[in-house]
Amino acid sequence: MKVFKHLVKLYIIFFKVGLFTIGGGYAMLPIVEKELVQKSKLSTMESVMESYSLAQTLPGVIASNAAALIGYKLFGIPGAIASALGVITPSIGIVTVIAMVFRKFGHLEVVQNAFIGIRIVVLALLFDSFMRLFKVAVFDKKTFAVSMISFVLVLMNWASPILILIIGALFGLYVYRERVGS
Amino acid sequence: MRLLAFLFEFFKIGLFTYGGGLAMIPILRDIAVNKEWLSESHFTDLIAISQSTPGPIAINMATYIGYREFSFLGAILASLTIIAPAFVLAIILGKFLSKFNRHPFVQAAFVGLKATIIGLIATSVVQVALVSLYGNKPGRLGRPWVGLDFKAVAFMLVFYFFIRKYQKHPLIYITIGGIASLFIW
């Protein structure tokens, strides 16, 4: 019974994390710290940070990976399930409502006109993210070549992005296996 | 059967994308547009919606597409499916994960993976540019100057300047952009 209570608590904590981090990412950390470390004292910040950095090295959704790893550390598999479900529940609820509303009102002229500008803002935001990530991930001729080749292949629809990702990882493994190790 | 095939796409995305929401955008776009779940411009709208609503971007996108294709059931299952592969990996690898990540081979693979993702994100930038900087007809790769809306280009440059300068939350720029758009277009 006590374990069940803890699981519900974990679910609620990560529900809040999902609800208050708009767009995901690092924004979740302050809320996790406040709820899990300061208020309920279930975990320490070091442990949370460790789980968060591990979460980034797994595929998929970082926030739910982090939630699952934190939950798993605390209460095993049930903890992982409660945390991961908690963090995605608000999204599912809210976005379903938005999808319903958008289906009904999306064709209205005022909505369409607003989205002309919004699409351009999306472009500016994406370009900004691209520029920042580029500086981190592209640091020599080989990484530049890999990014250019994958850009062209996917842009021209000559290869599927997933296939390109797999080849990119294998290429990195082959080319950098010694350099990184030393 | 159609639902299973649909969910399989989200399983693939959940298993093969590395780097979170931003890296997922080009992969999801490729599948969503090719399978005709959404048009190119509708997908761009979805990026905006996902960045300005609570929760992880990938979950927001999966929920939205899932709802459109299979109603409530689709919304829930698409979101669960996209997190499932990494969830299982997290549990299996659990304690070994940090050791696994420090392995030189894994580190080396990540270097290649990150460079590839940059190329993929660049394709998203181009695709979004083709639907956002042109009038009613999307721009064409071969002739990018045909139909280019210079008002839109100016709008983009102004926003890019402020995004770089202040680095505020995307939601703020999206809201301001939506309102400003009503006066301009």
- Estimate the crossing angle of helix B21-34 against helix A109-137, to 10 degrees: 130
Distance from the A81 Cα atom to the nearest Cα atom in chain B, whole angstroms: 9
Question: Whose CA is closest to B111, among A162, A172, A15, A158?
Answer: A172
Question: Which regions in chain A score pLDDT beneath 70?
Answer: 23-24, 179-182
In this prediction, residue B146 carries a pLDDT of 87
Q: Which chain A residue lies closest to B92 (C-alpha atoms)? A: A77
A165–B17 CB contact, under 8 Å? yes
Give the tens place of pLDDT for each residue, B107-150.
899 999 999 999 999 999 999 999 999 987 888 888 888 889 99
In this prediction, residue A23 carries a pLDDT of 66
Maximal C-alpha separation, chain A: 60
Q: List, in order, residues 6 or more apart from B94 with CB less than 8 Å away.
A: A72
A65–B41 CB contact, under 8 Å? no
Distance from the A5 Cα atom to the nearest Cα atom in chain B, whole angstroms: 22
In this prediction, residue A180 carries a pLDDT of 57
A125–B170 CB contact, under 8 Å? yes
Residues A48/A36, Cβ–Cβ less than 8 Å: yes
A122–B51 CB contact, under 8 Å? yes
In this prediction, residue B137 carries a pLDDT of 82
Q: Which chain A residue lies closest to B174 (C-alpha atoms)? A: A118
In the three-class reduction of DSSP (H, G, I as helix; E, B as strand; rest coil), residue A64 is classed as helix
- Estimate the crossing angle of helix A62-105 against helix B40-52, to 10 degrees: 120
Cα–Cα distances in Å, from B148 out to A128, B127, B143, B145, B155?
21, 14, 10, 5, 13
Outline where chain B has alpha helix (H).
2-16, 21-34, 40-52, 57-93, 97-102, 104-132, 150-166, 170-184
Contacts of A71 in chain B (CB under 8 A): none
The token duo for A89 is 């529940």
In the three-class reduction of DSSP (H, G, I as helix; E, B as strand; rest coil), residue B141 is classed as coil
Q: Where are the domains of chain B?
A: 2-148
Distance from the A41 Cα atom to the nearest Cα atom in chain B, whole angstroms: 22
In this prediction, residue A182 carries a pLDDT of 46
